[in-house]
A = this chain, B = another copy of it.
């Protein structure tokens, strides 16, 4: 069987390089085009990928992308995605967008957080693989959620859908610094991050809107930068009906993820970042205060794999009818 021709735009960022690495060893795909994030960058090679992928990174070109691929991954800044995706989708082919540009459905919220994003003429599936398999299989465009929403939603959705949540939902997220991208800044300068922890974006982070959209519920979400490169852990605090038992919680998660190859249920053995980095796993654990109904959830994943490139490939596998794990183990 001939391989699906894949194009990657934004292949020089951390998420884009991870995509290239995963796609290069995918048994059913062939990377035919890899491009930078703008039309102005010179063609160049990526030293880290010598021996993994032999091509070169070309300047961004919608025409080339469209003509030489069956599926395109956009790992672009959201303002660039907002412009490129509509043009590309008009030319056909499957698109997997890793930016936030097309994830919010509410017009007001989208205008607030992603003002450059236009209305689209095509349906967009929200790409949280384990929760949205059917729409991912059919939609021409998949808006893949980033690391924060993926970790929070995989942990919270079974409870929310099960109607168990009673009370506030607090999501305290600890993220590795690669989540902030490749562009140097004071915030991501080594000497500022090393040996430090910092909260940011309190009550003002656009991923809050995305999480609230999917849960249909207000949440308090506070992200933190912690001094590690890859990986993200969320600690989630809420209350459930006071009669809830550990067994009910466990059953709910088993039902949700019993057949999901990339969600590992850890129960009371709370997950740690170390066990998920460089994999497509999301590990989920929980502890219930059985006398008071307080529930603490912990979920973690690699922000560049399950939180970005890996989940995009997983969605690609579903969209094209391949084994969900192809290229990811």
Which 10 A-B pairs have CB atoms at the shortest separation, nearest pair first?
Answer: A196-B274, A184-B184, A202-B287, A172-B172, A198-B272, A177-B190, A48-B275, A196-B273, A190-B193, A194-B229
Q: Is A83 an interface residue (CB 8 A)?
A: no
A108-152 vs B, Cβ < 8 Å mask (1 yes, 0 no): 000000000000000000000000000000000000000000000
Residue of B nearest to A47 (CB): B275
Give the copy number.
4
Which one, B195, B218, B294, B296, contacts A274 given CB within 8 A?
A: B195
Those of A191-234 within 8 Å (CB) of chain B: 191-200, 202-203, 218, 220, 222, 224, 226-231, 233
Partner of A199 from B176, B189, B193, B270 at Cβ < 8 Å: B270
Asked if A269 lies at the interface with its beta carbon under 8 angstroms from chain B, I say yes
Taking a contact as CB atoms under 8 Å apart, the answer to whether A229 and B190 are in contact is: yes
Q: Which residues of A contact B (CB under 8 A)?
A: 14, 25, 47-48, 50-52, 167-168, 170, 172, 174, 176-178, 182, 184-186, 188-200, 202-203, 218, 220, 222, 224, 226-231, 233, 235, 237, 239, 261-262, 264, 266, 269-270, 272-275, 277-279, 281, 287, 289, 292, 294, 296, 298, 300, 329
Q: Is the CB of A270 within 8 A of B230?
A: no
A277 touches which one: B170, B195, B226, B281 (CB < 8 A)? B195
A198→B168 contact, CB < 8 A: no
Q: List 8 A-B contacts (CB under 8 A).
A: A168-B239, A178-B191, A182-B191, A188-B191, A196-B272, A199-B298, A220-B294, A226-B226
Chain B residue with Cβ nearest A200? B270
Query: Contact at A272–B197, with CB atoms within 8 Å?
Result: yes
Known interface pairs A170-B237, A224-B233; 4 further A-B residue pairs with C-beta atoms within 8 A, sorted by A's residue number: A172-B235, A190-B227, A197-B272, A199-B298
Complex-state Cα separation, A202 to B300, whole angstroms: 17
Q: How far is the CA of A182 from the CA of B192 in the complex (A)?
A: 9
CA distance A174 to B329 in the complex (A): 30
A195 touches B287 (CB 8 A): no
Residue in A167, A185, A203, A272 whose Cβ sees the most chain B Cβ within 10 Å: A272
State whether A231 touches B200 (Cβ < 8 A): no
Check A195–B197 contact: CB distance below 8 A.
no
Q: Does B270 contact A228, Cβ atoms closer than 8 Å?
A: no
- Which residues of chain B have C-beta atoms less than 8 A from A51's C-beta? 261-262, 264, 281
| A298 smallest CB distance to B (angstroms) | 5
